[in-house]
A and B are shown apart, each in its own frame.
Chain A
Amino acid sequence: MSANPSTQGQAETGARPFSLRLSARDLLRVAIFAVIFIVATYVIGMLGIISPLVWLLIVPLQAIVGGVTVLLFLTRVRHAGMLTLFGVVVAMFYLVGGNTLLSSTGIVGLGLVAELILWAGRYRSKWAMIWAYTVFGLSFFTPFLPLLVDRTAYLASSNFTDMGKAYVHASDTLLSVPVISLLACIVLASSFLGGVFGSAILGKHFVRAGLA
């Protein structure tokens, strides 16, 4: 991936980096990459059906897979608003697909923060793209947010208390704030790795194929 891939794109869209005006082609780009992002992470996530334990291991892997798609998308982002729009439509789609309102709001917030990071790098910096994805990759942690915010209510469900001491102890440990925070740190580290991996994959495959 080039650190300065801009001139061709600016000529192509005629857009200034900080303009908020989105052309039809910008909207199509956001839509295409949002779909690729959702499908790629969904296919990997389907492996989690094998076992809930595999599901927990798959979450960091999803963050790595998302890195390839988002980094390729960010090389085509020419001005402000596109990453925020990406975050909003992904969040809206997840909301329709069964995510919680809290989780979807979290994704929108992460998209905004990632947009600010990209803006600070003037939409051209490779490291700003990697850090922007590192923040946005936390969206894979957002489905766990309700467990963190309303832990007591989830544990108060009677089936948790009917199943014996071992069960209550395991649930108390597994849903504790330190364990969920550890998971957030793992997802954050995986997102960073996903950003670096995505950047490497762009250089290895997509630039050579003329797609980045």
Chain B
Amino acid sequence: MPVPSLRPRRGLDPRAKILLVIGCSIVVMSPAGLRFVPFALLLAIGLALGERDWRRAASLPAAAGVMWVLGWWLPLWWPNALTAVVSLACVYLIRFVVAIGVGAHVIVTTSPTQLAAALRIWRIPRPFAVTLAVMLRFFPVVGAEANAVLDAMRLRGLVGAGGLLRHPVLSVERFTVPMIAASLRASEDLSASAILRGLGSRRKPTAMQPPRFATPDLVLVLVTATLTTAALTLPAPLS
């Protein structure tokens, strides 16, 4: 019987992922960024498929498709001021969909220790590196608390855009107060544990798996270069 390998699958170098997402954000959000949107969307879908995250791989083209229909086709089918406003917002928001799609890959696939090791190699000052790594650790905790509060509100019929628009302040209070209180209580244990394990220590820690440029990063560089060339040379479908 084959023994499963205990070595985890080596993914992309966290530094490559961070540079990729910042590069994508800058390019896609620039005034001429619509030209790059379809290619960055392909990249984001490819990254999701590479991680076998089928939900993200399906939701990204769905969200971009809705923005495309509302932004490019709706004002042609039904031209009036309202559809023009909706279209304008969608033309701007489609850039966010793509940039968030690439960013989601970094957030989902990078562990706090990998991020801390990458930031240490870049010599990012300790307060920023430690805080960012801890943030990555806390996101699932706070996200779970927020979902629990939303579930409880849903059971009581308190969730919905109608209720939020009718009683915005009350809705905000009902959501934020239990969410913050629960998150703070959950964070106390995590904080104590993190400090006991040496978080924030001034001694330089070592990484079990130091970030290294490997074959997946080379593939990423080649794919990104190909998509960038295609975006610059092929006719732009969105602009």
Contacts and interface: CB of A to CB of B under 8 A. Distances in A.
A180 interface: no
A12 B172 CA distance: 32
B22 interface: yes
Contact of A175 (B88, B150, B238): B88
A47 B163 CA distance: 12
B100 A89 contact: no
Contact of A53 (B26, B86, B128): B86
Interface of B: 18, 21-22, 25-26, 29, 31-32, 34, 70-72, 75-76, 79-81, 84-93, 95-96, 98-100, 102-104, 106-107, 127-128, 130-132, 134-135, 138-139, 142-143, 146, 150, 161, 164-165, 168-169, 172-173, 175-177, 179-181, 183-184, 187, 191, 194-195, 199-201, 238-239
A207 interface: no
A43 interface: yes
22 contacts: A22-B127, A23-B200, A25-B195, A27-B127, A32-B184, A32-B187, A35-B142, A43-B175, A51-B86, A92-B128, A96-B22, A97-B99, A98-B25, A100-B25, A100-B26, A100-B29, A156-B31, A164-B75, A166-B80, A166-B81, A166-B84, A174-B84
Contacts of A156: 31
**B contacts with A: majority SS:** helix
Given A28-B134, A89-B132, A96-B18, A170 B81 contact: yes
Interface stretch (A2-10, A122-130, A147-155): A147-155
B180 A68 contact: yes
A150 B187 CA distance: 42
A186 interface: no
Contacts of A89: 128, 131-132, 135
A182 interface: no
Interface in A48-81: 50-57, 61, 64-65, 68-69, 72, 81
A211 B98 CA distance: 39
A206 B173 CA distance: 12
B133 to A, nearest CB: 8
Given A98-B25, A100-B26, A197-B172, 16 more contacts: A22-B127, A31-B134, A34-B135, A40-B146, A40-B180, A64-B172, A69-B180, A85-B131, A93-B132, A96-B103, A146-B31, A153-B31, A163-B76, A166-B80, A201-B173, A211-B180
Interface residues on A, range: 35 or more
Contact of A54 (B31, B76, B95, B161): B161
Contacts of A61: 164, 168, 172
Interface of A: 22-25, 27-28, 30-32, 34-36, 39-40, 43-44, 47, 50-57, 61, 64-65, 68-69, 72, 81, 85, 88-89, 92-93, 95-101, 143, 146-147, 150, 153-154, 156-159, 163-164, 166-167, 169-171, 174-175, 197, 201, 205-206, 209, 211
B131 A24 contact: no
The secondary-structure label for the interface of chain A is helix
Give the one of A31, A68, A92 with max B CB within 10 A: A31
A209 B128 CA distance: 31
A146 B187 CA distance: 36
A83 B132 CA distance: 15
